[in-house]
Structure 1
Amino acid sequence: MDIPIDFPTVPLSSGHNIPILGLGMSHHGGYSHNALLHALRSCNIRHIDTAKRYGNEELIGKAISESGVKREDLWITTKLWPGDYGYENATQACLDSCKRLGVDYLDLYLMHWPDVQIPGKSSREGRAETWKALEDLYYRGVCRSIGVSNFLIHHLEQLKENCDVVPHLNQVEYHPFQRPQELVDYCNRNNIVFGGYCPLAKGQVLTHPVILRLAKQYGKTPAQICIRWSIQNGIVTIPKSTKESRIQENCQVLDFILGDDDVFSINSLHDGRHVTWDPSNVL
């Protein structure tokens, strides 16, 4: 099958449109130069999701330069690590990320985590101060869209009360075992796009009997079933891989549609487990 020319996009309240499928990076073996070049050149991936924490922004900038893909055709997301929270630190960290990536602006900049360790300030106060920096970067055009990651409803409610711009996107762990529908519904009601990471639950979901049955039924791989399910639920989805063949496989999810009963079957696998951070104890 040929890779689709364009992936569908989801409109953000910033007025920009984010590709619904991207390529995620990570700090645990999450960067391969050749794989990223393959994604950009051969798979038409235009959405790259990284973070300062991952330590690969400069490498990604080099790959983008080598790929020949125009900057205006790319969607680049990176994230602000809590060690850089606070107004001045956050502002400088954003500019440093731009420099490492070799870009003049970011398509999306996220606060990576709701917990804040700023002496003399509560997490809520620290989040508000940091978000104010992101708002100003947004107003300046350095960040075309701004958002958060791993924020729960109470974190978002506090931010709404303290700040002017409602986050354009909230990126949270999302896979068949971790489907926080109450949070998804809240984001939908408040015009916050929901982004999901770890769509394959770090591989844990790929051997589940329901997923294996549907993979056989649709003539697809278990990974393709999970990614298609996530996209069909309206989630901006960013599977990670350092293997060219896996990246290509993960992109081939637009030529079939899961039936409603099959979506329901996968929805029913939710058991609340996390395969990464659990932000529920962050005040």
Structure 2
Amino acid sequence: MTAVPSLTLNNAVQIPQLGFGTFQIPPEDTRETTLAALEAGYRHIDTAQMYGNEKEVGQAVRDSGLDRADVFVTSKLNNDAHGHDNALRAFDRTLEAVGLDYLDLFLIHWPLPAKGEFVETWKALEEVYRSGRAKAIGVSNFQPRHLRRLLEGSDVVPAVNQIEVHPYLTQDEVRAFGAEHQIATEAWSPIAQGKVLDDPTINRIAERVGKSPAQVTLRWHIQRGDIVFPKSVTRKRIEENFDLFDFELSEGDIGEISALNRNERTGFDPDRFNG
């Protein structure tokens, strides 16, 4: 079975660079779909309180027969749980839902800047981290201005920032800020909800290397150093998305795909979204 490369986070925790995302997978389908991903070789599963399927992700991990230490499990704090005490209670609910002794990574899902509570919320995550119930903590959808406020008012530097990244939204500024502060970038919506799959540049490269447009796009993420977790509910696509490590894109390919950037989001603008 193909070994997925791991990256070392700023607290020395190892994270598989390729994972499996469970966004928009209905709870009733999540256990079976996550088991299919684990059988295909994925060892990194991404869920969230908002997704409503944490319980089923935990069931799949427990039912897989794999050692707990061999599966990296991430969840994220819901937007209604900002604030110190709310966040602590919400984390307890997540651990109870997944039925695991700890999470490998727990994130603040959105900064919600108008509420202005993300620094206080982060303090709660620092307590969870120090307790060992989360091996690493981080944020999601944070822009450099949000990260600066967080770094000024806290002790623990986020291990990751999970943001929307794809060839039409390359996020160079956010990624550069992360690299400067040893905050790894995780890419959600890595194929722009399918929008990039018809792109002529990506299709031309895919034809040349003998891979699908999705595989080429995901490989672009991998070679740029992003942590990526594509989502699918079909076994064939789950397996195809895992098959990224028997080819490489040239520097020219990487540059051509990166040049497709047009700052086009498929999701919310973190500066304007407030839950």
Q: Please, what TM-score do these two structures have when normalized by structure 1?
A: 0.93
**Aligned partners of 1:55, 1:19: CA distance in 2, in Å?**
24
- Counterpart of 1:267 in structure 2 is 258
**Aligned partners of 1:80, 1:27: CA distance in 2, in Å?**
16
**Aligned partners of 1:88, 1:202: CA distance in 2, in Å?**
35
**2:245 equivalent to 1:254:** yes
1:142 aligns to what SS in structure 2? coil
Q: Give the aligned residue type for 1:132.
A: K
**Aligned partners of 2:115, 2:154: CA distance in 1, in Å?**
15
CA contact (8 A) 1:211 1:222 kept: yes
**Aligned partners of 2:25, 2:46: CA distance in 1, in Å?**
14
CA contact (8 A) 1:9 1:19 kept: yes
* Among 77, 81, 84, the residue aligned to 2:78: 81
Structure 1 portions without partners, runs of 5+: 117-121
- Counterpart of 1:36 in structure 2 is 34
**Aligned partners of 1:256, 1:123: CA distance in 2, in Å?**
45
1:148 aligns to what SS in structure 2? strand
Q: How far 1:38 moved relative to its partner?
A: 1.5
Q: How far 1:28 moved relative to its partner?
A: 5.6
* Among 94, 112, 123, the residue aligned to 2:115: 123
CA contact (8 A) 2:61 2:71 kept: no
**Aligned partners of 1:23, 1:269: CA distance in 2, in Å?**
25
1:191 aligns to what SS in structure 2? coil
2:101 aligns to what SS in structure 1? coil
- 1:121-270 aligned at under 5 Å gives the runs 123-124=115-116, 126-270=117-261
**2:102 equivalent to 1:95:** no
Q: Number of residue pairs matched?
A: 273
Q: Please, what TM-score do these two structures have when normalized by structure 2?
A: 0.96
1:279 aligns to what SS in structure 2? coil
CA contact (8 A) 2:26 2:53 kept: no
* Among 109, 112, 120, the residue aligned to 2:109: 112
Residues 22-67 of structure 1, C-alpha deviation per residue, up to 9 Å, x if partnerless? Answer: 00011364844322111112x1111000000000011111111221
Over the aligned positions, Cα root-mean-square deviation in angstroms equals 1.4
Q: Give the aligned residue type for 1:35.
A: T
CA contact (8 A) 1:166 1:192 kept: yes
Structure 1 residue ranges, 4+ long, deviating more than 2 angstroms after superposition: 27-35, 280-283
* Among 35, 47, 53, the residue aligned to 1:56: 53
Q: How far 1:280 moved relative to its partner?
A: 3.1
CA contact (8 A) 1:27 1:53 kept: no
CA contact (8 A) 2:160 2:184 kept: yes
Q: Give the aligned residue type for 1:219.
A: G
Residues 163-189 of structure 1, C-alpha deviation per residue, up to 9 Å, x if partnerless? Answer: 111111000001000101011111000
Residues 71-97 of structure 1, C-alpha deviation per residue, up to 9 Å, x if partnerless? Answer: 111100000012011111111111111
CA contact (8 A) 1:151 1:170 kept: yes
Q: How far 1:239 moved relative to its partner?
A: 0.6
**Aligned partners of 1:9, 1:149: CA distance in 2, in Å?**
20
**Aligned partners of 1:204, 1:69: CA distance in 2, in Å?**
35
Residues 119-150 of structure 1, C-alpha deviation per residue, up to 9 Å, x if partnerless? Answer: xxx633x1111000000110110111000000
